[in-house]
Amino acid sequence: MTLQEVYHGVLEAMKLPLQSVVDSNSRLHLLYLFSSLGLAYYVYRKSNEQGSFWSYVFRKDVWLSRSAFVDYSLIFLNSFFKVFLIGPYFVFGFYLSYKLEILLPEWFGYPSQGLSASATLVLYTIVLTVLSDFSTYVVHYVMHYVPFFWEFHKVHHSATTLNPVTQYRIHPVELIINNVKGILVLGLVTGVFRYWSAHPIEEITLIGANVLSFAFLFFGSNLRHSHIPLKYFNWLEYILISPFQHQIHHSDDERHFNRNLGSKLAIWDWMFGTLVRSESVSSVNFGIGKQEEKQYDSIWKNLLMPFANIWLRLKPAVARKVKTFL
Ligand SMILES: [Zn+2]
Ligand SMILES: [Zn+2]
């Protein structure tokens, strides 16, 4: 990598978080921020809040908390990992889909009837959305239940206040895992559809986003990481995760640990017994408990603590192994 490439990479990484307000695939796009504000107003009107709407939404103790500054720092730091470490591997998704397009006819022959253009668009969008969502659930499940991965995912849960940027408060190791998963699913699904359909694979787009993800982003995805408890109808919370259901996921109450692991769809939580609906919870405190939270109140602690904790877990086993060799 030349010095000039490094310079351009650094510039790109610095711009990335700021560009998200005009990137239609980002939750922080202005349109989604405004739609979330509209939904927040609905919650405010239904609540008995005394102060103004603006002081309700932009609470200083939320937006200017120590925890929030860790979120703001991590979104910038992670964009460096995205540009320098993950970006170059995005091409692997294209390679995978291209490889499948060649291999599938060898294995199964060509399909007797290819999909029509409209069926391709609709099916591709649905299959990609559902499979992406299910794989996100599985990865999130593993993050919570396997101690090694939990140490990294704990960074996201160590937030004691939630704001839309908290979505990006993840350890770089988790960022890499999520992106590898995303690249694999996109490559596999696209490859299968390129084989199955004679038509070009293009998602149904609305301002550049898939219609299903557009609906998800528009209807309050930014309130998931916030103090505004937007709940859906009881029946709907079996199908879609509401913002308050994700806030329950961030609860420091033991009864809510490892619950509501879904991203967009709640059906996976329903199927695998990890669902909690809003009606059974009145309010939540965010975080992992006072004692542990102190270990995650700066960006450096968030970056290093997972490695320190994993070492502490491994140390006795390593010591035993060393002893047997001596
Ligand atoms: Zn989690
Ligand atoms: Zn979260």
Ligand at shortest distance from the CA of 143:
1
Kindly identify the ligand whose nearest atom is closest to the C-alpha of 167: 2
Highest mean pLDDT among 113-127, 200-214, 262-276, 279-293: 262-276
| Domain range annotation of the chain | 3-231
Q: For residue 292, what pLDDT band results from cuts at 50, 70 and 90?
A: confident
Beta carbons within 10 angstroms of residue 282's beta carbon: 7
Q: Which pLDDT score is estimated for 93? A: 81
- Start-to-end CA span in the chain (Å): 45
Distance 199 CA to ligand 2 centre (A): 37
- Can you tell me the mean pLDDT for 21-25? 72
Share of the chain above pLDDT 70, in %: 96
- Closest alpha carbon to 134 in 89, 194, 189: 189
CA of 10 to the centre of ligand 1 (A): 30
Residue 254: is its pLDDT beyond 60? yes
Q: Is 44 exposed, middle or buried (0-12, 13-18, 19+ CB in 10 A)?
A: middle
pLDDT of residue 5: 78
What average pLDDT does this structure show over 160-180? Answer: 95
**Entry pTM:** 0.90
Q: Tell me, what's the pLDDT at 271? A: 97
The more confidently predicted of residues 155 and 84 is 155
Say how many Å lie between the CA of residue 304 and the centre of ligand 1: 19
Alpha-carbon distance 103 to 108, whole Å? 9
Cα(316) to centroid of ligand 2, in Å? 32
State how far the Cα of 298 lies from the Cα of 84, in Å rounded to an integer.
Answer: 24
* β-strand pairing of 205-206 with 209-210: antiparallel
Ligand 1 centroid–CA 156 distance in Å is 7
**Among residues 238, 242, 236, 220, which one has the least CA distance to residue 275?**
238
Looking at all shown ligands, the one closest to residue 258's CA atom is 1
Lowest mean pLDDT among 121-125, 154-158, 302-306: 121-125
Per-residue pLDDT, averaged over 236-245, amounts to 96
> 23 or 37, which is more confident?
37
- E-strand ranges in 90-167 read none
CA distance 85 to 138: 24
* In contact, 9 and 79? CB cutoff 8 Å: no
In tens, the pLDDT along 30-80 reads 899 999 999 999 999 999 888 999 999 999 999 999 999 999 999 999 988
The pLDDT of residue 209 is: 58
Select the more confidently predicted residue: 325 or 83. 83
Distance 250 CA to ligand 1 centre (A): 7
What is the CA(258)–ligand 1 centre distance, in A? 7
* CA 105 / ligand 2 centre spacing (Å): 41
Q: Give the ligand whose atoms come closest to the C-alpha of residue 260.
A: 1
Centre of ligand 1 from the C-alpha of residue 153, in Å = 7
**205: confidence class by pLDDT, cuts 50, 70, 90:** low
Ligand 1 centroid–CA 270 distance in Å is: 16
Ligand lying closest to the C-alpha of residue 168: 2
Q: Hunting for tokens 């004679």 — which residue is that? A: 198
Count of CB atoms within 10 A of residue 278's CB?
20
Q: How far is the CA of 51 from the centre of ligand 2 (A)?
A: 27
